[in-house]
Chains A and B, each alone.
Chain A
Amino acid sequence: MKIRKSTIIVHIIAWSAALLWILPFLGVLMAATRPFDEILRGWWNFEDFNPSLKSFVDAWNYRDAPIGEGILNSFLVAIPSTFIPMLVASLAGYGFARFRFPIRDYLFITILLLMSIPQQMVAVPLFQIMNDLGLVNSFIGLILVHSAWGLPWIILFMRNYFSTLPVEVEEAAKVDGASDFKIFYKIALPMALPALASVAVLQFMWVWNDFFFALILIGSTDRMLATQRIPYMSGERYVPWDLLSAASILVMMVPVLIFALLQKYYIKGMIGWTIKG
């Protein structure tokens, strides 16, 4: 295999980018594994180097709000909050892309508008609605809220993605008498796998990292999500940087691993270009 100069350059750029991006996180890692005094003058100094994983263990088992339990809770919320909007929004996105009906564009714009609403503003009304529904301090309530708030952007993305897929295959199926729904889930949805994978990763991550809705809706300590448990460890005049860093790393690792896991679904050409073939 000839190794061309351009390939080398490309590889260098790619790996430098990776290194550049990771540097600040190395700082967090240092704070989690080394005593604070060592990294006081910059973590790149290694004269005193006494690493240990104690902070991770302490954070994982922290008193009444262990990170381990928090991660479990976050999973219980994030997984449904990813799948429900993915499904619901794919349906709607497909509808916007393929169907024609009078109010379509107005409806679409309205849904887009909703993306711009800042979370902070709806604290009071949202709590009231959830209180009336009896869903305060329940995971189901939080899942519903996250699903609803994820819908606008996922609808936008899926609609745009579906519109790039060639209609010929779908039209062919329609001529054969298939219903809209069958076309959707037997043809369009499989072709949208890379998009679905992207959406899954991003939505999961957004829900995972959310702090605000969790703060408003989840009150009891044993139900707190992972992101709530990080600031829980610092007090008024007491900031345990090592615990905070270790906890942050533990919490952050999950979406990254999910991302790495779903990488294989971005494979080029996975979409069957049966038309050209």
Chain B
Amino acid sequence: MERMEAVIAGLVVIAIIVSASTLWYGVTVLSDVSKLTDSTAELTSSMVDLTEELASLAGTVGASLDTIEDVLARLRAVEATLTPTITVIGPWAGKEMDAFLPVLDRFEALYGINVKYKKYRAEELATLLPAQFAAGKTPGDVIFMWGWWIAENGEEGHVLDVTDLVDEADFLNGTFDPVKVGNTIYGGAYTGKVKPGFWYRKSFFTANGLTPPTTWAEFETLLADIAAIPGIVNPIASGDGVGWPLSDITEHFIITYGGPQLQRDLIAGTVAWTSPEVKTTVFEEKLVPLLTAGHFSDPAEWTTILKEWWDGDYGLYFMGSWITGMVDDPNDLGVFSLPGCEGLVFVADYCFIPTYTEHLDEAKELFQFLASEEAQRVQVAQGGHIATNIHVSLDEYPAVDRMVANLTTGKEVLLDLDDTIGGAFQSTFWEQLQLLWVSPGQLDAVLAAIEAVAP
């Protein structure tokens, strides 16, 4: 069987080489098609001759392939003994990448291990990692990915068990829940972002004599006041894109009016979405009336509507703390949580080590470094991130982020609902919320659909 494979591989490879070389010749005179036809014909007749000779060549090719294999193996062995370079994969590009690279530089300086950064979005990783893992390969040694995905793949053996490398006491409460299966931890926590509430431009509020609300009634009045301002399209901008801005808003309502424990119950699946505490208390009494009154805009692409909000077409925008890096003047930013809110969602970036890595020790070093106070300090100092490591002091943050970090004091830190459950729930949750936003009347159907895929 091996012989056959070698023969066929040889056949194909040689045919390709011949075609490719004749093609390069052909390409250079592409402007004249008749010459092209001739070279194609030449090519074809050479292929014909070739087919007849290949049978005898097959044996020689097989033997040469074996020799080449030997040489390659020896080269790889030599390469392995030189300075190791490990690869870390993250979803950050442009400005985000510029903020992450200093952390990697610090690592290289401290540990003498070269690190290469590769950028892949999570959707791309979702597609290509299964293929690579099935073949026992991996594109990176430390990879950032969705928390629930890490846990799932940990169960299937593709992800290294890192329980011994992590000390949960150094981190915010519950940070590792999304990447835990039972008591086994599969992922590491890096920095993250908070979703504190509704952002507004302080200048906008001052110019229109508005103040952040302290009760639900004041919130409703605020919305009505903003709606009355000329030039305003809707009081609250609804971002969309993947669905997460809508789910963030919904979770905020759940936490504020259902209580932080309700968020935890929904994640665990111990409370149904169709039950009164969710349906009536949160949706029917609070969220849906605002939707029906037209206080929320139709879902629009979130980076576009962010600009429109900044320009004054909308009053409030519910966003995560990364917004501080996206506006021209972060000092003009103000934020308030819904009155009565006692818990905030914190979403961390999780990374893992694939079991197929060829640089296990170095990967572990980087992994632990990213979780450490040192790495997170470098990251948060640049703004837009909040540390999961509790040893990072508030002084390290730039002013605006300190304000956000302060918001979390006195409030419980909660996990993002859909990010933690993931899978089919997450997709359905987002889609149903998109539907709810434009058809608030379909609340019952929406909740039923969500409950059907809930844990």
A–B touch (CB < 8 A): the answer is yes
Q: Does A127 contact B132, Cβ atoms closer than 8 Å?
A: yes
Chain B contacts for A136, CB-based, 8 A: 137
Chain A contacts for B94, CB-based, 8 A: 233-235, 238, 240
Is A123 an interface residue, CB under 8 A from the partner? yes
Residue in contact with B307 in the complex, picked from A37, A133, A215, A219, CB distance below 8 Å: A37
Chain A contacts for B41, CB-based, 8 A: 185-186, 189
Chain B contacts for A48, CB-based, 8 A: none
Q: Does B96 contact A236, Cβ atoms closer than 8 Å?
A: yes
Least CB distance, B42 to chain A, in whole angstroms:
10
Contact with A along B218-252 (1 / 0, CB 8 A): 00000000000000000000000000000000000
Chain A contacts for B303, CB-based, 8 A: 239, 241
Contact with A along B317-331 (1 / 0, CB 8 A): 000101000100000
Is A83 an interface residue, CB under 8 A from the partner? yes
Measured CA separation A221–B89 after assembly (Å): 12
Q: Does B131 contact A216, Cβ atoms closer than 8 Å?
A: yes
| A193-B33 contact, Cβ under 8 Å, with A127-B134, A236-B92 | yes
| A123-B127 contact, Cβ under 8 Å, with A40-B307, A237-B322 | yes
Q: Does A80 contact B23, Cβ atoms closer than 8 Å?
A: yes
Measured CA separation A144–B16 after assembly (Å): 8
Q: Does B137 contact A87, Cβ atoms closer than 8 Å?
A: no
Q: Does B16 contact A235, Cβ atoms closer than 8 Å?
A: no
A144, A193, A238 — most chain B CB neighbours (10 Å): A238
**Interfacial residues of chain A within 183-228, with CB under 8 A of chain B in the complex:** 185-186, 189-190, 193, 212, 215-216, 219, 221
Minimum CB distance partner of B27 in chain A: A79
Measured CA separation A143–B20 after assembly (Å): 10
| A79-B23 contact, Cβ under 8 Å, with A127-B131, A236-B91 | yes
Contact with A along B359-399 (1 / 0, CB 8 A): 00000000000000000000000000000000000000000
Interface of B is mostly: helix
Least CB distance, A253 to chain B, in whole angstroms:
17
Q: Does A235 contact B93, Cβ atoms closer than 8 Å?
A: yes
Residue in contact with B43 in the complex, picked from A87, A140, A143, A212, CB distance below 8 Å: A87
Chain B contacts for A91, CB-based, 8 A: 44
Is B207 an interface residue, CB under 8 A from the partner? no
Q: Does A265 contact B16, Cβ atoms closer than 8 Å?
A: no
Minimum CB distance partner of B307 in chain A: A40
Interface of A is mostly: helix
Measured CA separation A189–B44 after assembly (Å): 12
Least CB distance, B45 to chain A, in whole angstroms:
8
Least CB distance, B221 to chain A, in whole angstroms:
30
Minimum CB distance partner of A189 in chain B: B37
Least CB distance, B124 to chain A, in whole angstroms:
6
Measured CA separation A91–B19 after assembly (Å): 15
Is A25 an interface residue, CB under 8 A from the partner? no
Interface residues of A, count at CB 8 A: 44
Q: Does B304 contact A235, Cβ atoms closer than 8 Å?
A: no
| A80-B20 contact, Cβ under 8 Å, with A124-B130, A126-B131, A265-B33 | yes
| A87-B44 contact, Cβ under 8 Å, with A80-B23, A193-B33 | yes
| A123-B130 contact, Cβ under 8 Å, with A83-B23, A235-B97, A238-B96 | yes
| A232-B127 contact, Cβ under 8 Å, with A83-B19, A131-B137, A239-B303 | no
Interface residues on B, range: 35 or more
Measured CA separation A133–B326 after assembly (Å): 46
Is A231 an interface residue, CB under 8 A from the partner? yes
Is A99 an interface residue, CB under 8 A from the partner? no
Measured CA separation A212–B446 after assembly (Å): 33
Is A163 an interface residue, CB under 8 A from the partner? no
Is A52 an interface residue, CB under 8 A from the partner? no
Is A84 an interface residue, CB under 8 A from the partner? yes
Chain A contacts for B127, CB-based, 8 A: 120, 123, 212, 215-216
Q: Does B128 contact A215, Cβ atoms closer than 8 Å?
A: yes
| A181-B48 contact, Cβ under 8 Å, with A123-B128, A241-B303 | yes
Is A36 an interface residue, CB under 8 A from the partner? yes
Q: Does A237 contact B96, Cβ atoms closer than 8 Å?
A: yes
Q: Does A235 contact B135, Cβ atoms closer than 8 Å?
A: no
Q: Does A215 contact B124, Cβ atoms closer than 8 Å?
A: yes
Least CB distance, B68 to chain A, in whole angstroms:
10
Q: Does B135 contact A127, Cβ atoms closer than 8 Å?
A: yes
Least CB distance, A46 to chain B, in whole angstroms:
18
Contact with B along A137-168 (1 / 0, CB 8 A): 00010011000000000000000000000000
| A133-B9 contact, Cβ under 8 Å, with A40-B308, A87-B44, A215-B128 | yes
Is A61 an interface residue, CB under 8 A from the partner? no
Contact with A along B8-41 (1 / 0, CB 8 A): 0100110010011001001100000100010011
Residue in contact with A235 in the complex, picked from B23, B26, B119, B139, CB distance below 8 Å: B119
Is B74 an interface residue, CB under 8 A from the partner? no
Is A16 an interface residue, CB under 8 A from the partner? no
Interchain Cβ contacts under 8 Å between A and B, 27 examples: A37-B307, A40-B311, A83-B19, A83-B23, A83-B26, A87-B19, A87-B40, A87-B43, A120-B127, A128-B131, A131-B137, A140-B16, A144-B12, A144-B16, A185-B44, A215-B124, A216-B131, A219-B139, A221-B118, A232-B93, A235-B96, A237-B320, A238-B94, A238-B96, A239-B303, A241-B303, A265-B33
Extra contacts, 14 of them, besides A87-B40, A140-B16, A185-B40 (Cβ < 8 A), are A36-B307, A123-B131, A127-B128, A131-B137, A189-B37, A215-B124, A215-B128, A221-B118, A234-B121, A235-B93, A237-B96, A238-B92, A241-B303, A265-B33
